[in-house]
Structure 1
Amino acid sequence: MTAKEGDAYDSPLFYLVMQYAHRADRDVVGMVSGSPDWDPPAAVRDGLREYADGEPADFQYAPSEGLRELREEIAARRNVDSDRVVVTNGAGEANYLAMARAMERDAGDEMVLTDPVYPYYPGKAQMLDAETVTVPVATDGSLNLDSMRAAVSEDTACVVVNTPNNPTGAVYDRESVAELAALAEANDALLLVDEVYDHFDFSGRFESALTLDSENVVVTSAYSKTMAITGFRVGYAVFPDALVEAAKTRHMLVNVATSRPAQAAVLRSLRETPPEYYEAARDRLRDRIDAFTDALDAAGASYTEPDGGFYVLARFDDFPGTLDNVKTLIDEAGVAGMPGEAFGEAYDDWIRFALCTPRADDAAARLADYFSASDD
């Protein structure tokens, strides 16, 4: 997962690939990072402008657990008590807090992850001295529940899943997530469900794990993708009552608080942004996915058709998804993706492309040209 395998503190492959693309001596379409390229809601900008004229007190520490009004707004939308909500520095910190709580319970020392997996999950697990158990997903990207049942045991501290999924684009149905919650309850483990891509569900099947109302479930999310504001670092975690106070303490000791202006802008956007903003983003991504996969057909590639999120995994004949081959694509095709080996073993011969660029069509054409020429 990192520059030196087994050392969680070296530069992640994401940064190595982006740096390599930046140094290339040709034009490169970047499809590595999941940073939306479209405008944030107008209310985000309005909220920041208004905040700039605030009183001196508005520029001081926010309450550590988050602005009260923001926590109440999140709670109302997620149908939970606001005392269960901790506003965090993005979904990354929210996931860290949940995984740390799982380890602090002394109810196991293993974390069960899917394969493929977002690389920061095993990185955090290693940082917390947890053992990792990876379970390959089914061929369609859905959860392999039989394998999950075999993997979860009394040694399991936490089961971590992400839906809609990065990198497969799978949307896990409520019944499958409920089965994982039952497994966690039976083994005194936590189930962490990262729902950061919940607004990018193309299937209509997504249901939040909060509908399960389980004392063993922690749900995390953020506004980074939803509002196209990855630089704001405003996320949150919803903890069971018994776990939230210790999570708040760890959050305070590690971060003190989350950015006050960013929280205020997000709050205003939640109150004022119409549903059409989010639907426009989904429509944009649907169009990009269709155009990109059409070009992958022309390149003779196999690929995933995402039900959610904005990533496509592609496999090219005799061109496995190694870091060396990703560099070759940068140098010779002018397209930067992520090596499949960064996400585990199940898709290690695939390459992940993030469709967060208006040049997705250009990238697709370059890939089609490159692999068509390779076949000649």
Structure 2
Amino acid sequence: MTETDEAYDEPLFFRVIQYAENADRDVVDMVSGNPDWEPPAALRDGLRDYAGADPPEFQYQASEGLGELREEIAARRNVDSSRLVATNGAGEANYLAMAAAMERGAGTEFLLTDPVYPYYPGKATMLGGSVTRVPVHEDGHVDVAGMRAAASEDTGAIVLNTPNNPTGAVYDIDAVAALADVAAEVDALLVVDEVYDHFDFTGRFESALTLDRDHVVVTSSFSKSMGITGFRVGYAVFPDDLVDAARTRHMLVNVTGSRPAQTAVAHALRETPPSYYESIRDTIRERIDALTAALDAIGADYTTPEGAFYVLARFADFPGTMANAERLIDEAGVAGMPGETFGDAYDDWIRFSLCTDRVDEAAARLTAYFEGS
């Protein structure tokens, strides 16, 4: 287990992306999680319809979010809409959930996995909390026993992300339930970020909301599933006793969210068939196969994601440092995210995002680079 200090820095994603943008050669971007797939047709229809609305429809909506959107989400997640706050993406949803943990006064420590998406520890320290990271199992799945051993009266929240970025693991619902028990034992919240729920390739994913626990907060967004990261439409589902404070914090920071974006998403939820999401999963499966076949050919180790759309790769004598990520950009023309960004457990690895239709080209470049090394 490792602990961070109280400082927080600008996420390194920006540094890698900017380095790639400033390169003197063409670079395949496999850093960002910006989907390249077409959003649902119904989303565009919803925007067109909204554009013709009367002026009153262009004004503030309820701070907690557009009523029709919250009702659509609530019906799908089998919760009461009064527990929902529509947020500025999953980023704000996670911020509100982690702030709620601090406001409870039950503890200021956040238990996170290692590796972990770096925005979680960044938010924790920004909120004045401390961070303890618990390494995952070798297969990328959460170490329930390790989390239980690390939990204490100082723990304010256990934060999970499933399907997971960067490991691609889809956590078993029994493991999530066990961690809900751990959280309850130390009077902490369990915060579960399910933003990649539509990218489950196992058929085993089950939302933490099915546990029906009074100390669990679930967050998500439509950025990935609908390919609309720029719309910033997310949500959090809070226990009844925490939702009012979360709404207040949301209102003081944002006033409210984007009404046209939420209107379009609500329309898309009603009108988009399941086949839309399956077609995206098929595309990601093809990209996984293309990249991992190349990694096999050059003898690299790699993860085969059960969910999300990232592959971690480990190359001989090429650890996942920022310096090596920059070398890949300069010498191979492929931009990946250094494993050290996510913690210590996978610091020898490099994460590649599959949000590009240039995966075949990237695979060829990596093969040429490492076979020629």
Give the TM-score normalised by the residue count of structure 1: 0.97
Paired residue for 1:170?
169
Paired position in structure 1 for 2:355: 356
In structure 2, how many angstroms separate the alpha carbons of the residues matched to 1:7 and 1:215?
Answer: 30
Counterpart of 2:121 in structure 1: which amino acid?
A: P
The corresponding residue for 2:112 is 113
**Structure 1 pair 272/8, CA: closer, same or farther in 2 (3 Å)?**
farther
2: CA distance between counterparts of 1:11 and 1:344? 15
Q: Secondary structure at the residue paired with 1:287?
A: helix
> How do residues 191-206 of structure 1 correspond to structure 2 at under 5 angstroms?
191-206=190-205
Q: What is the aligned partner in structure 2 of residue 225 from structure 1? A: 224
- Partner residue in 2 for 1:318: 317
Match in the other structure for 2:208: 209
Question: Displacement, 1:69?
Answer: 1.0
Q: CA deviation at 1:13?
A: 0.6
1:326-345 paired onto structure 2 within 5 Å: 326-345=325-344
Q: What does residue range 44-193 of structure 1 map to in structure 2 within 5 Å?
A: 44-193=43-192
Paired with 2:34 and 2:268, the residues of 1 have a C-alpha distance of: 19
Per-residue CA deviation, residues 174-233 of structure 1 (Å, 9 max, x unaligned), is 000000000111110000000000000000110000000001100000000010000000
**1:251-330 maps to which residues of 2 (within 5 A)?**
251-330=250-329
Rounded Cα–Cα distance in structure 1 between residues aligned with 2:239 and 2:257: 21
Distance 1:63 1:146 in 2: 42
Q: Secondary structure at the match of 2:217?
A: strand
Alpha-carbon distance between aligned partners in 2 of 1:174 and 1:310, rounded to the nearest angstrom: 20
State the one-letter code of the partner of 2:330.
Answer: D
Secondary structure at the counterpart of residue 231 of structure 1: helix
Shift of residue 10, structure 1, vs aligned partner: 4.2
Instruction: Work out whether residues 299 and 369 of structure 1, in 8 Å CA contact, stay in contact via their aligned partners in 2.
Output: no
Identify which range, 5-14 or 17-26, moves more after superposition: 5-14
Distance 1:144 1:174 in 2: 13
> Match of 1:300, SS?
coil
Q: Distance in 1 between matches of 2:302 and 2:273?
A: 33
Deviation per CA, 1:272-299: give whole Å up to 9, x if none. 0011000000000001001100001112
Q: Distance in 1 between matches of 2:9 and 2:99?
A: 21
> Does the CA contact (< 8 Å) of 1:219 and 1:237 recur in 2?
yes
What is the CA–CA distance in structure 1 between the aligned matches of 2:220 and 2:316, rounded to whole Å? Answer: 36
Q: Note the alpha carbon deviations across 1:145-182, whole angstroms, 9 max, x for none.
A: 11111011111000000000000000000000000000
Structure 2 CA distance for aligned equivalents of residues 119 and 168 of structure 1: 13
Alpha-carbon distance in 2 for matches of 1:193, 1:127: 19
The alpha carbon displacement at 1:6 in A equals 6.2
SS of equivalent to 2:145: helix
Q: Output one character per residue of 1:93-134: Cα deviation in whole Å (capped at 9) or x when no partner.
A: 000000000001110110000000000000000100101000
Q: Which amino acid aligns with 1:29?
A: V
Q: What displacement does 1:8 show? A: 5.7
Distance 1:347 1:299 in 2: 20
User: Using the alignment, how far apart are the partners of 2:97 and 2:314 within structure 1?
Assistant: 34
Match of 2:41 in 1: 42
Q: What amino acid maps onto 1:259 in structure 2?
A: S
Determine helix, strand or coil for the equivalent of 2:73: helix
Kindly provide the amino acid, as one letter, of the partner of residue 101 in structure 1.
A
Higher mean C-alpha displacement, 101-110 vs 5-14: 5-14
Q: After TM superposition, give the deviation of residue 300 of structure 1 in Å.
A: 1.4
Relative to structure 2, which stretch is displaced further, 201-210 or 141-150? 141-150
Structure 2 counterpart of 1:237: 236
Cα offset, 1:11, TM superposition: 3.0
Query: Distance between the aligned counterparts of 2:9 and 2:127, measured in 1?
Result: 16
Which AA in structure 1 matches 2:199? F
> Displacement, 1:360?
0.6
Q: Which amino acid aligns with 1:222?
A: S
Aligned length: 370
Gapped runs of 5+ residues in structure 1? none
> What is the CA–CA distance in structure 2 between the aligned matches of 1:32 and 1:221, rounded to whole Å?
21
Contact 1:89/1:258 (<8 A) preserved: yes
Q: TM-score, normalised by structure 2?
A: 0.98
- Indicate the RMSD between aligned Cα atoms, in angstroms: 1.0
- Following superposition, the deviation at residue 327 of structure 1 comes to 0.2
One-letter code aligned to 1:166: N
Cα pair 1:340 1:347 within 8 Å, conserved: yes
Task: Indicate conservation of the 8 Å contact 2:8/2:125, yes or no.
Answer: no
Specify the alignment match of 2:29 in structure 1: 30
Following TM superposition, the consecutive aligned residue runs of length 4 or more in structure 1 with deviations greater than 6 angstroms are: none
Q: Tell which deviates more after alignment, 52-61 or 231-240.
A: 52-61
Query: Structure 2 counterpart of 1:241, which letter?
Result: D
The structure-2 alpha-carbon separation of the partners of 1:136 and 1:10, relative to structure 1 and needing over 3 Å to count, comes to: closer
